[in-house]
Amino acid sequence: MMNHLPVLQVIIPLLAAPLCVIVRNGQIAGVIAVASSWVSLWMAWKIFQLVQVAGTISYNLGGWMAPIGIEYRIDTLAAFVLILVTLVGAVVTPYAITSVKKEIDESKEALFYAAFLLCLSGLLGIVVTGDIFNVFVFLEISSLSAYALIALGKDRRALIAAYQYLIMGSVGATFIVIGIGMLYVMTGSLNMADLAILLPQLPSNRIIPVAFAFLTIGVCLKLALFPLHVWLPNAYAYAPSAVTAFIASTATKVAIYMLLRICFTIFGPDFSFVKMQLGAILLPLSVIAIFSMSLVAIFQTNVKRMLAYSSLAQIGYIVLGISLFTNTGLTAGILHLFNHAVIKGSLFMALGCVMYRLNSVDLESMRGLGRKMPLTMGAFLVGGFSLIGVPFTAGFISKWYLIQGALEKGLWPVALLVLMTSLMAVVYIWRVVESVYFSEFNGSDADEITEAPLGLLLPTWVLAILCLYFGVNGTFTALAASSAAANLMGAGS
């Protein structure tokens, strides 16, 4: 069975999804979702260990040899992202059981879990597969289910947000499939490793750069890099709490993973960064994203929206790390990809707890909540500190590497900008802290507001503690990220 882990990683949630629809019972579906997401986490861990020992794993689907058959290929980076996605999945599903009861119609509960598991398996599929058309298929599975999940939000604006995401996401997916088509026309192959060998052999032509442009722009839409980000804030703000927590920590991260695969594995670093000068495009865009989105976040009154804009800025940090095109920069990008997922997961889950009790996450309605819900707001505080990058939180470590990367390249203004925007994070997090801890509660139903139920608190604190753990003992993440980065950088040479 261990040999089949790569495919089981995708198959199990994929099969659990229709199972949820068949049973039709929200409670049982919830149990199925939890069980399959936990099994997924366990498998991801096993795969990670295997990759550490044996190096890159290759698995031929149905026994057909690559490049004819579909190959699943897992290297350090893929294994690391697998852990991240399944970890967030395994924490969010138990959280969803309590949260969904309140936010979604009982009749739709089973469907929610089905969509959730589809989304999970789609994301996992993107990570494990070594076949570029397969990437597109899994991307559509995860995106379509994500649109449905967002549309389930109680607020009616969720529908518009989901529709907006649908349109933008489909544009992105179309760009990607056009790029894939061009590559297929030129090489006759869809296997990534195969493409990596065939592409450099082609005589110089215009189609390959165009394909590269289509693919990167499509992916940048998916990962919400400025200025292709407009779909994201509304989608995050109006989706059900569990969905926001899951999508915010995984969907954009997997899109960044796709960007890395396309640039480094398929086209090779020399083509992407030396010939096409991708770094020169990504660097200014990410710098603008970091600065402008942090600024916008400061002026939000809906805390969920505020965190959505903060996510856009944080995506900027990750892309900034990648655009530096050095080992340290790439390590920083991959590290922040992981750390930010954990941080944002804990923050959005804490907000979900607030939503559960208050039915609102406005700054104004959260006044004085520190005394009413100390554990929830404690978790928020931990996540917030981590977002700022206080020492001994996960955020500090990724920023440390990022600034090192910038200084190595002599880009000290960029390094300074990273620190300045950390201060902007202080401002927007502090607005919440001041409202929550240093203001009086002003709601009418003061007695009814109590601490969130354990079913929400426990998963929230799991991620909050991980924020601290990866800040105190960052060796695991830092080593995994740097070995993944070295792998990617070495791929082309």
Partner 1 sequence: MTYPQILCLIVAIPFMGAGLILLAGKYHNLRDTLSLLVAMVLCGTVYQLIEPLRQGNSTQVTLLEVTPSLSLGLSVEPLGLLFALVASFLWIVTGLYAIGYMRGHHEKNQTRFFACFAIAIGGAMGVSFSSNLFTLFAFYELLTLCTFPLVTHHGTDEAKKAGRIYLGILLATSVGLQLFAIIWTWNLAGTLDFRPDGILAGTASDRVLSILIVLFVFGVGKAAVMPFHRWLPAAMVAPTPVSALLHAVAVVKVGVFTILKVAIYIFGLDTLAQLGSTPWLRWVVAATIILGSLVAFTKDNLKARLAYSTISQLSYIVLAALLANEFAIIGGGMHIAMHAFGKITLFFAAGSVLVASHKTNISDMKGLGRRMPLTFAAFFVGSLSIIGVPPAGGAWSKWFLGLGTLEAGEQGLLAVLMVSSLLSLVYLLEVPIRAFFSPPESDQEGTGIQEAPWPCLLAMGISSGMTVGLFLFPDFLYEMMTMVFST
Q: Which residues bind partner 1 (CB under 8 A)?
A: 389-392, 397, 400, 403-404, 407-408, 412, 415-416, 419-420, 422-423, 426, 430, 434, 438, 471-475, 478-479
Q: Which is nearer to partner 1, 299 or 430 (CB)?
A: 430
C-alpha dihedral, 354 to 357 to 361 to 363, nearest 10°: -90
CB neighbour burial string for 468-489, b if at least 16 within 10 angstroms, e if fewer: bbbbeebeebbebbbbbbebbb
What is the closest distance, in whole angstroms, from the C-beta atom of residue 473 to partner 1 in the complex? Answer: 7
Shortest Å distance, C-beta 226 to partner 1 = 23
Three-state secondary-structure class, residue 131? strand
Q: How far is the CB of 471 from partner 1 (least distance, A)?
A: 7
The helices-and-strands tally (H runs, E runs) of the chain is: 20, 2
Q: Whose Cβ is closer to partner 1: residue 14's or residue 375's?
A: 375
- Closer of 80 and 236 to partner 1 (Cβ): 80
User: Which residue, 80 or 212, has its beta carbon nearer to partner 1?
Assistant: 80
C-alpha torsion angle, residues 350, 150, 315, 258 (rounded to 10): 130
- Residue closer to partner 1 by CB (options 270, 434) is 434
Smallest gap from Cβ 34 to partner 1, in A, equals 33
- Min dist CB 398 to partner 1, Å, is 10
Looking at beta carbons only, is 197 or 419 nearer to partner 1?
A: 419
What's the residue count for the chain? 493
Rounded to 5 degrees, what are φ and ψ at 191?
A: -80, 130
The Cβ of residue 144 has, within 10 Å, a number of other Cβ atoms equal to 18
Backbone CA torsion sign across 47, 272, 183, 193? negative
How far, in Å, are 47, 57, 93, 440, 483 from residue 491 at the CA level?
A: 21, 16, 36, 57, 12
- In the bound complex, what is the minimum distance in angstroms from residue 104's beta carbon to partner 1? 39
**In this structure, what DSSP letter does residue 449 have?**
-
Nearer to partner 1, 258 or 436 (CB): 436
What's the closest the beta carbon of residue 421 comes to partner 1, in angstroms?
10
Q: Which is nearer to partner 1, 45 or 437 (CB)?
A: 437
* CA–CA separation, 466 and 379 (whole Å): 11
Q: Give the E-state strand segments of 233-361 in sequence order.
A: none
User: Can you tell me the distance from the alpha carbon of 329 to that of 216, in angstroms, rounded to the nearest whole number?
Assistant: 19
**Nearest-approach distance from CB 235 to partner 1, in angstroms:** 31
Pairwise CA distance, residues 346 & 47, whole Å:
25
- Here the tokens at position 455 are 């079913």
